[in-house]
Amino acid sequence: MSKVKSAIITAILLAAIIVAALFAVISFPVAGSDGVKRIDSIASRISLGGEFTGEAYTVLYPEGVISAARYRDGMPEDPAQGDADYDEKKKNREEYIGKYINRGSVYVAADLIAVEDGEGGFEKDADGNIAIDVKKDAELKAAVGKDAEIISDRLEAKDIFSCTVSVEDDYGIRVAVPTGFNYSAYRDDGYSDGTSSGEISRVSALIQYVSLSGGVTLRNPNETSGLKQIFDPDMDVADYFKSISAYSRGGVYALRFKLTDTGYDRLSSYALDLAEADTKSIYIYIGETPLLNIPVDSGIPGKTMYLTVSSNSSISDKEAAENYAALLNSALKGNALENEYIEYLSDTNSTWELRYTGSQLGRHAVIYTAAVLLAVVLIAAFLPVIRYKKLGLVNAMTTVLFALVLLYAIYLLGVTFTLAGAFAAIFGLALFGFSNFRVYEAVRKETEKGKTIQSAVKAGYRAQLAGILDVHILLLLISVIIALVPVSGAAACGIIIFISVIASYALHWVTRFMWYVVSAPSRDKFGFAGFAREDDDDDE
């Protein structure tokens, strides 16, 4: 290859690496926008795991149970003597106090756990307090505990890594979900006050769906018209559906309903009976909450139906489809929540009142992790220069290219980056470096046998091909197995390792090509590779 061609190819690759690196790690304002608009770097747009950004949590209380703070907020004012409507205000306050029983840090409506006196009131204990029905109290606590298990199962069905569900103060359910903030949002100190509305909406919608109570029913929207009902509102429809899952094709998200033979027959019959109805639809309810509307004006296409999901809220269609699937499958299996959980709204958002915990690793954990990763990449890129001279520079180019490929792939595939993912990325980089090191040393040994550099390179790559290929195939299979583990954290690591293995093997041959390109103008090929030259004529 001529010097001109070598220089052109090298310049193009270097320019591509520099441009990709700039967009990967540097954020900058858009020209002409006076700094109002900015382009965030690829790295700052990658979703981060909860160990970096913390978690969002809320406490769900069944209807009739409120926190001590809400009890105080709802308490009518204590009127002073001489106030207008003193008697009425005093009565309202007393009624409010008599409506609840203090149970530690929460207040429970008396009609849920108190002993009734048979006259519309409640019995009193020896101290003059409302007497507690031990059986009712135990049943309420047991129901809350069972609901917590169901909510946990629903979150697991969503494949959410490291979410926690626990009973709090016997009567509440604490639901904590790792935040998926990217660094662009997380670095804003006000993110916990609502500036990251997309993430807040995602977590709020998720909690709202997994806490819906009641079983699945199919209902006719024309009930008031007197149309004959094929489906009773209280019927069990579990025998009509094999499964309900989220489905995606071409960027469009849908729910895929797989019907049993019985389900197909009944739904088809129902579609025919709706021929004269104003609305030819099936409404899917969870308890008394209308969830989905399945149009059947053209009949039932088959035992597999697809319902396109178009979210009406600020969450994505993907999130909506996955939420629906997790909720419906749980309810169809008989896992219906026993209690109705109240949706408490915050002052500024029509969402669950979410609170945030900071990262257990510290506020700047993501910065430290990024710094460590950058240091590892730089060491892996330039340490070989000491041993392999100019050949080490070729290795440096492809090592940086490997890191950029991995970074862009994580972003484009929407992989949540966790601390475990950082170790997986380092493992991938080590695999790439080890593959090149083995070949370089194999080439060195071939040159010590007296071969020319061209012959040694061919022999070295040929000798190591089988071993390197076997290692990459084995790791590829392992990464696929890890990616299929039904835990999103493990799955994310599996995907990162999968990308690393593919990139490592592909760039292994790019390194071979660039060795040929960059070394072409050099007469001393041995000196280029940092090898000891024993015969001045070996490269002729």
Mean pLDDT by groups of 10 residues along the chain of 540 residues? 84 92 86 70 87 85 89 85 80 88 91 84 82 92 94 83 85 88 68 54 83 83 51 68 85 88 84 72 83 80 85 72 88 88 54 73 86 94 90 92 95 88 94 93 89 88 93 94 75 91 94 87 83 55
Q: How far apart are CA 181 and CA 47, in angstroms?
A: 6
d(CA 192, CA 54): 11
The torsion angles phi and psi of 223, rounded to 5 degrees, stand at: -55, -40
Q: Quote the pLDDT of residue 495.
A: 92
Beta strands (DSSP E) in 64-152 are 65-67, 100-103, 106-109
Chain-centre distance for alpha carbon 410 = 13
Write the CATH number of the domain with boundaries 3-44+363-529.
1.20.1640.10
- Asked if 9 and 517 count as a contact pair (C-beta separation under 8 A), the reply is yes
d(CA 479, CA 421): 12
Tell me phi and psi for residue 50, to 5 degrees. -60, -25
In this structure, what is the dihedral angle of CA atoms 156, 161, 166, 172, given to the nearest 10 degrees?
A: -80
The DSSP output letter for 111 is: H
Tokens found for residue 414: 């929407």
Q: What share of the chain is helix, strand, coil (3-state, %, to 5)?
A: 50, 15, 30
- Cα angle for residues 316, 319, 324 (degrees, 5° grid): 125
Map tokens 């209380």 to a residue: 61
Query: In whole angstroms, what separates CA 128 from the centre of its chain?
Result: 52
What pLDDT sits at residue 347? 44
Q: Residue 233 has what pLDDT?
A: 53
Query: Which stretch of DSSP H or E encloses residue 73?
Result: helix 68-74
pLDDT for residue 450? 83
In this prediction, residue 309 carries a pLDDT of: 80
Looking at residue 192, what is its pLDDT? 45
Report CA 25 to chain centroid distance, whole Å. Answer: 23
Distance in angstroms (rounded) separating the CA atoms of residues 71 and 325: 36
What residue has token string 């494949």? 159
Using alpha carbons only, give the angle 523, 458, 474 rounded to the nearest 5 degrees.
Answer: 135
As a whole number of angstroms, the distance between CA 408 and CA 431 comes to 19
Q: At what angle do helices 134-157 and 317-332 cross, to 10 degrees?
A: 130
Q: Where in the chain is the domain with CATH 1.20.1640.10?
A: 3-44+363-529
* Residue 226: predicted pLDDT: 44
In a 3-state reduction of DSSP, which class is residue 120?
coil
Instruction: Specify the pTM.
Output: 0.76
Q: How far is CA 70 from the centre of its chain?
A: 32
Choose among 326, 480, 286, 504: nearest CA to 403.
504
Closest CA to 510 of 396, 389, 380: 396
State how beta strands 289-295 and 281-286 pair: antiparallel
Calpha distance 434→440 (Å, rounded): 10
